[in-house]
Amino acid sequence: MGSFVRRQITMADLISKAYQLDPRAKYVGFYEFLTPIIVLCDLDLIKTITIKNAENFPDHRPLVNKKVDPMLGGMLFMLNGDQWRDHRNMLSPTFTSSKIKTMFKLMSECASRFAEHLSNLPEEQRETEMKSLLTKYTNDVIASCVYNVSVDSIKEPKNVFYVYGTISTSMVTFKKSLMFLVHRNAPWLAELLQLKFVDSHIAKFFYDQVAETVETRQQTGTRRSDILQLFMDNNKKREPGNEMTVQEMVNHAFTFFFGGFDSVSSQTCIVAHLLAENPDVQERVQQEIDETLENNNGELTYDAMHDMKYLDAVISETLRLYPITSFIDRMCVKDFELPPARPGDKPFTVKAGMNIWIPVAGIHQDPKYYENPLKFDPDRFYENNRTIANSGAYMPFGLGPRMCIGNRFALTEMKVLLCHVLAKCSIKLAPRTITPLQFEKGVINTTGKNGFWLAIEPRKSSYCFSTVSASAVSSS
């Protein structure tokens, strides 16, 4: 980890380096400071660990000290054992396609407002740092879809949701990355120094938002198509005493901020950068969007958007080339014997308490699985989407029972924004754009070196959206 801490390498490059240590081996080992890590390199073995024998490897290694950051430590990703299983079952109905569909209108309203702003930028402001802009969009979507609060972070960049969300979720600074590593590798030190990611007054703000909304709805019977309503509806189906508490609702609602505020905006920045570098791909996406709108009387419906196969291929290829998470981890809870790493070696027993890593970044860029793997080529997914998805070599949202529960929400959030923006604008390389794409070294989250600078130009002939009504969304 020395090269990462010295800011000489990105996390993705570190993972790929470990993956390539011995091309003959099914797994290799290295140390995360003082913690021994087993890095799985064989797809069949990865499937065995994450799916077939998931009961032996059911948990993630703790990312934060729950005594220091109780709200962060109470998110689904951080829970282990029976507690994780129970909460996963409570949350799963919230993230079905039908439930995401009900939130589509809220996302579309945010995306439409955002695209309108970009299409009307004065010429001298068209070169812009996309990350700072796109976090405003993800903030507005989370505030609306989760907390029932309508904010416009473009016009009001100092709104409390955006300010607190930025403070609490950003891992793009070296200081925050070091804090993360201390929490993970020396939780006693994190407790001693009280290294908080979410300050107490910010945690109280998010608690009050949820508690007041839940209390108001229980008293008045009002309803809304958001996450909190789904939490409340699920509680009614559970046995008395086994419902989700208000604090648990607060923790899981904050998951959207911690998991989506930064990562979704960063991933969308990468898509935008790749479209700017590949104008032929961008033109093809815009043509698909235009045809979809023309066939739907100017309405962008949920089903019509998810029928856009080329847009889906572009996002899938971006997630392959630059996955949101560089590695997946699993904690062993029951001793498990791995086969010999190489012919002639002895089997290796993973002891309870040991940590397994799956090197997503390395596998996604391995020429064994992808022809010309460093090339951005959406056609590989457009033509072979199902084959790649079933190959075991594509895992942008994880694998097995602990696959990311919010992947549909994140993908819909990205797609609806790209549809609205690309219908009205084109994305171009700008003087401050760094090509090819480079990332900051020594930070946990993926962020562009010196930012994601791009130019936005209004399209000469853009398609006009019709107002998306609630009935249009439900009938779609």
Q: What are the pLDDT digits (tens) for 84-97?
A: 998 898 888 888 88
Q: Given pLDDT bands bounded at 50, 70 and 90, which one contains residue 43?
A: very high
pLDDT of 351 above 50: yes
Helix axis angle, 246-256 relative to 227-236, nearest 10°?
Answer: 140
Percent of the chain with pLDDT over 70: 96
pLDDT tens, residue by residue, 181-194: 888 888 899 899 99
Edge-to-edge strand list for the sheet holding 27-32: 27-32, 35-40, 355-358, 328-331
* Res 166: pLDDT: 83
Spatial CB neighbours of 472, under 8 Å, sequence gap ≥ 6: 299, 301
Q: Given pLDDT bands bounded at 50, 70 and 90, which one contains residue 470?
A: very low
Which domains does the chain possess? 2-475 (1.10.630.10)
pLDDT of 260 above 60: yes
Angstrom distance (rounded) from CA 303 to CA 306:
5
Q: What are the Cα distances from residue 458, in Å, to 213, 229, 404, 425, 440?
A: 39, 38, 35, 4, 30
The neighbour count for residue 331, using CB atoms within 10 Å, is 17
Mean pLDDT of the 306-331 span = 95
Mean pLDDT of the 19-29 span = 94
pLDDT of 195 above 90: no
pLDDT of 7 above 70: yes
Residue whose C-alpha is closest to residue 53's, from 37, 40, 36, 35: 40
* Res 472: pLDDT: 41
* Res 172: pLDDT: 57
Q: Which pTM does this prediction carry? A: 0.92
Spatial CB neighbours of 233, under 8 Å, sequence gap ≥ 6: none
* Res 399: pLDDT: 93
Mean pLDDT of the 124-143 span = 92
Round the average pLDDT of the chain to a whole number and report it.
90
* Res 463: pLDDT: 60
Residue whose C-alpha is closest to residue 369's, from 387, 402, 393: 393
pLDDT tens, residue by residue, 68-122: 988 888 888 888 999 999 889 888 888 888 889 988 999 999 999 999 999 998 9
Rg (CA), the chain: 22
Q: Return the structure tokens found at 297.
A: 């009387």
* Res 464: pLDDT: 60
pLDDT of 473 above 50: no
Angstrom distance (rounded) from CA 301 to CA 474:
9
Q: Return the structure tokens found at 269.
A: 């920045």
pLDDT of 467 above 50: no
Q: Which residues are annotated as a binding site for heme?
A: 404
Q: Given pLDDT bands bounded at 50, 70 and 90, which one contains residue 267?
A: very high
Q: Given pLDDT bands bounded at 50, 70 and 90, which one contains residue 246?
A: very high
* Res 466: pLDDT: 57
The answer to whether residues 39 and 215 touch, using CB atoms and an 8 Å cutoff, is no
* Res 425: pLDDT: 96
Q: Which residues are annotated as a binding site?
A: 404
